[in-house]
Amino acid sequence: MTSHTAKRPCSFQIGTFMTGKWHHNRYELRKELGYGANGIVYLAQSVRGTVAVKFSDNNATIASEVNVLKSFAKAQGDSLGPSLIDVDDYVVNGKIYPFYAMEFIQGDSLLAFLRKRGNEWLNVLSLQLLTQLEKLHQLGWVFGDLKPENLIIQWPEQRIRFIDVGGTTQQGRAIKEYTEYFDRGYWGLGGRRADPSYDLFSLAMIMMTAAYGGRVPKREGGLKELRERVKDKKELAVIEPVLMKAFAGKYASAGEMKRELAAYMQRQSNRRKHSAVQTSRMQMRNAKGKSGRRKGGRIAETLFLILLVTLLYAIYMLGLVV
């Protein structure tokens, strides 16, 4: 949720010990994790271990995000985002700051993970993310502010998780929070009403950002510019139809995009296997050819020696007769 332009809505000194007004749970604030227009998040220590605590001076913001996290908990299978631990108020100098404590997910940010492991992981993680988005959309939500900074690869499972649900919006409503670069409206390719295709556009932008190692400044915007950037990167060019369909808002669901991306990945894998088999066969033929030539050379040498010995023996016998 880090923003270098947003004003901090509330801020507390590192090392502060705080106690919730209603549940009396105690937290020690250890480190600031990030802040935005609607709140600030700290790493904190509690009786339940290390947690992340988000404060805001806006009750509606906290209530909305708590509802999102509760909804996430209803998703079948893996948790979509952090688990909700506590919801309370912190009172200091007569002022009330609503907050909630959530699971602290340890791992690498998406781009940091790809820098370590290589971009061959990009499509695999994108398939994971599409599975998560499909579950989220089925619950009636759109993530909204989908960007690399709001995704983490959890240790040691290497599983992608959402963090910072501040932009998560009920489908059909106006997107609550967004980051321009990953927003289709900024690129002139659609509005800011929450629907699945909004998140899928952002996902395609994340894939492009990861392939380039960062954000490439926009020129005029539109599909033409995005297509040029896709074609300029080999790892993007091989899935160009999938990315362009996402940019154009042509996918009805995350599941549809996931199936098409998986199909392109399978075809790419088959081509690599075929190429490897062809290379192996060629190497075997070359090895056999070399072996045959070596064998033929040895036979010729043997025949020559036999003929030479026979000739010398004949000359020797003729000498005895004479």
Question: What DSSP element (H or E) covers 17?
Answer: strand 17-19
Q: Is the per-residue pLDDT at 18 higher than 60?
A: yes
* Residues 18, 29 contacting (CB under 8 angstroms): yes
Segments in the chain forming alpha helices (H):
59-73, 110-117, 122-138, 196-212, 222-231, 234-237, 240-247, 254-321
Between 279 and 111, residue with greater pLDDT: 111
* Residues 97, 57 contacting (CB under 8 angstroms): yes
* Mean pLDDT computed over every residue of the chain: 88
pLDDT digits (tens, 9 = 90+) for 150-187: 999 998 989 999 999 999 999 999 999 999 999 999 99
Provide the pLDDT for residue 220: 95
Provide the pLDDT for residue 262: 97
Q: Give the full edge-to-edge strand order of the sheet including 26-36.
A: 17-19, 26-36, 39-46, 49-55, 95-103, 84-92
| Active-site annotation holds for 78 | no
SS3 156: coil
Stretch 134-143: mean pLDDT: 96
Q: Catalytic pick from 57, 88, 108, 145? A: 145
Distance CA 42, CA 55 (A): 8
* HSE-CB for 277 with a 13 A CA cutoff: 6
Distance CA 233, CA 291 (A): 42
Identify the bridge partners of residue 52 per DSSP, sorted by sequence position. Answer: 43, 102
* HSE-CB for 101 with a 13 A CA cutoff: 24
pLDDT digits (tens, 9 = 90+) for 54-100: 999 999 999 999 999 999 988 877 789 999 999 999 999 999 999 99
Distance CA 83, CA 291 (A): 65
Structural domains in the chain plus CATH codes: 17-103 (3.30.200.20), 107-266 (1.10.510.10)
Q: Which two tokens stand for residue 241?
A: 């139809």
Q: Is the per-residue pLDDT at 310 higher than 90?
A: no
Least confident of 5-9, 22-26, 242-246, 280-284: 5-9
The proportion of the chain whose per-residue pLDDT surpasses 70, expressed as a percent, equals 82
